[in-house]
Structure 1
Amino acid sequence: MEKNRLEAFSDGVLAIIITIMVLEMKVPHVKTLPELMPLLPVFLSYVLSFIYVGIYWNNHHHMLHLTRRVTGGILWANLHLLFWLSLFPFVTGWVGESHMAAAPLALYGVVLLMAAIAYVILQAAIIRHQGKDSPLAQAVGGDWKGKVSPLCYIGGIVLASFVPWLSIACYIAVALIWLVPDRRIERFLSQHEK
């Protein structure tokens, strides 16, 4: 099967996720900027989740650029990823509304962890289908980011009950290391398109 429909569907779902997240932010009934301060956690949780959705969209795009064709297994692995990403609006809203309380922060970390695992499963399904010598397999290589991220998420989940700001710091740290698109794929593409 061609990958175009999978790519278009995924892009649409991610756009809807962002739309739902922004629609969850209610218009405040205040008249001054200082009165907005209680809403800062809601806005900051939205910003972090927006960045995460952007990271997934960007890296998903890069990964699919190195994918020739898709199978039923790849389609299901992609749906698995989209399922976890579709929970972002819920956990984002809960974290913001609760002013970053322990349980919402821990669940936020669980959803981030499960999305990361789902991404790795999708990547593995594509590599399994295309072979160990495929462009994606060569581009991904050791994948240190993919190994460090789950550990940081687990740290954030555990820290949520004890030191919430450190939990948030773990989630921000992972976002920062993934903020730049996967350079391995870009390098691979530039080397092989010459």
Structure 2
Amino acid sequence: MEAFTDGVIAVVITVMVLELHVPSAATWTALLEDGTVFLSYILSFIYVGIYWTNHHHLFQLVRRVDGSVLWANLFFLFCLSLFPFSTAWLNKAQPAPAAVPTVCYGITLLLTALSWGLLERRLIAANGGEQSELRKALGADRKTRLSIAIHLAATSLALRSPVASCVLYAVVAAMWFIPDRRIEQRLGGI
């Protein structure tokens, strides 16, 4: 399953990279004119990277995968596959960032976070429920719930203030930038 997931993530990143265009002139000014494009690409790349590293950590603590885990993982990968579309629309719509594309980007982030939570719950259920090593490692999982709440608030705010929404999206990425230590600590104790 890890190889399949790695392949999907590689495709997502490749499609995002193909959306980057060379500046029209050989000047710093021309490069800076597309500054928001680079910022949104970097933010999306960080999100995909965060999910990729945490996905690897997550599967280190599980011993069993069933059909419900496979479907939850597929739904998670589908949500990740929306990143190139929502990032490209966020970049192409004017003014940047425009309200509706910012909402779409937020929905992508929110769906991905919700699908991540579903994947965690299915893995926990398939590996012993509340007594599983994964459940013990994740604990109350406040960070995931807080992330979902911020994504929901930011997406709601996007119609009035797209810039503030993008800042909140970046705040969530900053919260997760360092890989989840709870699983690493649990792996050390096994």
| Rounded Cα–Cα distance in structure 2 between residues aligned with 1:136 and 1:68 | 10
Residue number among 40, 48, 62 corresponding to 2:43 in the alignment? 48
| Rounded Cα–Cα distance in structure 2 between residues aligned with 1:100 and 1:51 | 19
| Rounded Cα–Cα distance in structure 2 between residues aligned with 1:95 and 1:135 | 39
Q: Secondary structure at the match of 1:69?
A: coil
1:130 aligns with 2:127: yes
Residue number among 29, 33, 36 corresponding to 1:34 in the alignment? 29
| Contiguous gaps of at least 5 residues in structure 1 | 1-5
1:12 aligns with 2:7: yes
| Rounded Cα–Cα distance in structure 1 between residues aligned with 2:30 and 2:124 | 52
1:73 aligns with 2:68: yes
Whichever residue aligns with residue 111 of structure 2, its letter is M
Residue number among 139, 153, 163 corresponding to 1:165 in the alignment? 163
- What is the TM-score normalised by the length of structure 2? 0.95
Pairwise CA distance, 1:191? 1.8
| Rounded Cα–Cα distance in structure 1 between residues aligned with 2:159 and 2:48 | 25
The count of aligned residue pairs is: 187
Pairwise CA distance, 1:35? 1.8
What CA deviation, in whole Å up to 9, does each residue of 1:3-46 have, x standing for no partner?
xxx11100110011111101111222212111222211111110
Q: Secondary structure at the match of 2:131?
A: coil
Partner of 2:113: 116
Pairwise CA distance, 1:164? 1.8
- What is the TM-score normalised by the length of structure 1? 0.94
Q: Secondary structure at the match of 1:29?
A: coil
| Contiguous gaps of at least 5 residues in structure 2 | none
What CA deviation, in whole Å up to 9, does each residue of 1:108-142 have, x standing for no partner?
00110000000110110011111121111110111
- Contact 1:44 / 1:96 at 8 angstroms: preserved in 2? no
Q: Secondary structure at the match of 1:117?
A: helix
- Contact 2:147 / 2:172 at 8 angstroms: preserved in 1? yes
| Rounded Cα–Cα distance in structure 2 between residues aligned with 1:186 and 1:137 | 13
Whichever residue aligns with residue 156 of structure 1, its letter is A
Percent sequence identity over aligned pairs = 48
- RMSD over equivalenced CA pairs, Å: 0.9
